[in-house]
Amino acid sequence: MLSMEVAESEIPDFTDPFHWCRYFPPRAKFDLMNLGVAVDWRRSFVTTEINPYYDSFVRWQFNTLKEANKVYFGKRHTIYSAVDGQPCADHDRQTGEGVAP
């Protein structure tokens, strides 16, 4: 946190998960605007109780997809790094990129 220039006195506030949602979006917006990214900033897309309208839309969307059997919980194949002892993304591998699990 200190490396991101968060004041040391403010670090304990991050034990509240909603503090993260209040703290970082304005800073991310500032950085993206400085990069010249073209974004419609009229809406917020935080999917928590902080933004109940968007959150209810996302919940409705996932529930609709789940009812249509398009979203489900289960196992899936993944690339595993024997060197690191954990799953990894395809582009994280030195060799074998593009080879399916």
Of the candidates 25, 53, 49, 52, the residue with the CA atom closest to the CA atom of residue 39: 25
**75 membership: H or E segment, kind and range:** none
Helix, strand, coil share (%) of the chain residues, nearest 5: 50, 5, 50
Per-residue model confidence (pLDDT) at position 101: 60
**What is the rounded distance in angstroms from the CA atom of residue 97 to the CA atom of residue 31?**
32
Per-residue pLDDT of the chain (101 residues; tens, 9 = 90+): 999 889 999 999 999 988 998 899 999 999 999 999 998 988 877 778 888 888 899 999 999 999 999 887 778 788 888 888 888 887 777 776 666 66
